[in-house]
Structure 1
Amino acid sequence: MNKVLLTLGAALLLADASWAVKVRDKKSGKEVCLGVHGGVWPKHLLETRCGLSDCDRRKGLPMKFLAALILLPALGQAATVFDGYEAYYEALPNRLFRDKGTELQPYSLEGDDVARHEWHGMAAGRQQRIDVRDGQLKINGRVLSPKRVKAFPDEVVSNSDLGLGTTVYFSKGWVCVENTPASASGTAVRHKAVYLIKQSGKQQQGWKLPSLFASCTAIRMQKGQVQFDKVTYRYLDGQDEPQGVMFKGYAIQGNKFVALGSLRSSTFVEPGNVYKFSVEPN
């Protein structure tokens, strides 16, 4: 970032033939010129001794240089604008699922009207098969029992979560499935059911994560600990419409959800558009 900002300052200076300012050398007591001559931007500012007439003739720092000095701190703190939550999550470090997700495909059996969706193939170093039948998830031949799924507070494990449109992600020892039910409408489409499943031998353990603007791509692995965000709307006093969202960090410790204390704020940049937002730097 510093190199970029210095380059901007250099570009502004190149438009001027030269600049200089009078300063007094504390050791010698003599007045000297501190400046750049001939419109050349060196690797560092050159201090050159020169006559007073030279300093007077150059009349100090140009306004373009002063403007650059004023802009540098502001540019260094500029917020980043994201077109969608997936773009924001993909910019996060230490993501557990880095590959693109794969959407399950519908299929049917002769004489059976049960809704089925599946995918099979090579992923995370092994053959994988994911089946969803009437909302029940089966991973590599093993049904994930709802009793083995711990839901985040205010979330509910439901067979209506998975079906048409379900997308699966793989990482070594982990599977994640996500879906927005086809029946969702209005603001409900902002919620997505996200199930994280740990595969260990013949055992499976699952967690249902917070749903607002959720995604498997938002899950991180930090020092062996699974981390994710709970997204909530951010309101200003007296306002009915949200002004942005807050990303509050959580971790899975054992089988518990533990708040990390990390919090990032975002601001919607277009009225009525909750999918385009700016995020201030940490």
Structure 2
Amino acid sequence: MPPRIPVAVYRLQFHQGMRFEDARGLVPYLKDLGVSDLYASPILQARRGSTHGYDVTDPTRLNPELGTEEEFDNLSRQLQAHGMGLLLDIVPNHMAASSENPWWMDMLEEGPGSAYGAYFDVDWHPPSRFLDNRILLPLLGTAYAEALENRQLTLAFEDGGFFVRYFDTKLPVAPKGYRQILEHRLDKLKQNLTPEAPAFQEFEGILSAIDRLPERASLLVEKAGERRLSITAIKERLRNLYNSSEEVRRFAEQNVWVFNGKTGVPASFRFLDRLLSDQA
């Protein structure tokens, strides 16, 4: 069969106000105009509320804000029924650098050991030895010390994991760094939980699991999957313990508060500064 050559193309910009079902209703009108092919803007999952679709967060699925797979199939069948074609705009060379992008977040957390590390154009061994196996992100709008002391960089605990926030940007803390946070003021937790308490034993078990994680920079490819499973298990255990133990939850929240420092007291930011410096 010879290739189909579009004669007259009409571009539709899909977003929450122009979904697959909306486009399906326009097909007869476009056919009457003499349009031979519908040219669709990117329809893969993008950042929430995206008005253009080029900020893709998951290239393996359709954007649910535009409709379901069934609704997309209905649009395709409507076009076929009217003898029209469908051109899809895709963005294979970039994605959204967003916390909504699981590939991006995994790469930030796991570095060269990430299952998605090769998907991104990252120089893991730049001339600066300090940046070896690290990622330098140009995020700060001011000097690092100023951003730190103005509490623009803050630690947070969400859904079993620790993150650093810079305004709307969310960055994962390397799992090895969890120990710095969880061991801080450990004597306080011991005052509220006896060593025999199940919650305290589980807490110590989580610390031991963190210690057993191999260094990601020296990780063999075949062991990377095991590390990812271990990290997932650690986060799940930490999330469950946080939700089930009031003592652990209060302890973790207080540690996050301590790490975030106090404006006007520069020395109070030393814990967060050390945590950030050790990210690798």
TM-score under structure 2 length normalisation: 0.23
Q: Which has the higher strand share?
A: 1
Q: Which has the higher helix share?
A: 2
* Larger Rg over CA atoms: 1
